[in-house]
Amino acid sequence: MKKLIMTLAIFLVVGAIFLNVKVRALEGEMNLDDISTANFKAKMGYLKLTSIKKLCSYDYCDYVRGDTFDETAEIFTRNYLKTIQDDEVRAGLRIKGIKITKLIFEE
């Protein structure tokens, strides 16, 4: 009986260590599917804004600036649109919002 309890305890400790490592890896960044600057506050409002370090859209990342989700999305949009040359594409992105593909968190 003691061997069974010790074996079970060892498995629980090892499982907790692996779970903790996996959770820490997820804390570093979060990949997103259906988030844009237009719905950023509605979908991600449960997070602390101060815990987010960068917003990324495909190959463009920018540090979070601003005190609110709306202000952060506006600043990100402004900075991202500076990288786009085509006026029509820029106008469309202003209306639809820019897809946010990844959040990078403070460590």
* Strand-pair partners of 57: 60
pLDDT (0 to 100) of residue 18: 43
**CA atoms of 7 and 1, how far apart (whole Å):** 10
**pTM of the complete model beyond 0.75:** no
User: What are the backbone dihedrals phi and psi of residue 64, each rounded to the nearest 5 degrees, phi first?
Assistant: -75, 125
pLDDT in tens, 26-64: 468 889 888 999 998 898 888 888 899 999 999 899 999
CA distances from 68 to 40, 49, 64, 93 (A): 11, 7, 10, 21
- H runs (alpha helix) in 1-107: 2-28, 40-44, 69-81, 87-96
